[in-house]
Amino acid sequence: MNLKKRIVAVEIKEGQTLDPETLKDLITDAGYEVVKIEVVSQSVQEIKS
């Protein structure tokens, strides 16, 4: 999570899935607004750098 850049990166384990609507609900329930959900092939480590 990088609040300055307003980015939340989630990396799921191999063989698992995460429904975008569930992710949106979790973030919204934490008090944040979801503007966009984007699925990318980069790892969280690659996004951080």
Identity of the amino acid at 4: K
Contact yes or no for 8/1 (Cβ under 8 A): yes
What value does the mean pLDDT of the chain take?
A: 89
Quote the pLDDT of residue 5.
76
Please tell me the pTM assigned to this model.
0.71
Q: In this model, does residue 45 exceed pLDDT 80?
A: yes
pLDDT band at 48 (very low <50, low <70, confident <90, very high): confident
Contact yes or no for 28/34 (Cβ under 8 A): yes
- 27-32: long-range contacts, CB 8 A cutoff, minimum separation 24: 32/8
Task: State the total domains in the chain.
Answer: 1
- Cα 4 to chain centroid distance, Å, stands at 15
Tokens coding 27 = 């973030």
- Cα 10 to chain centroid distance, Å, stands at 4
Q: Containing domain of residue 43, as a range?
A: 1-49
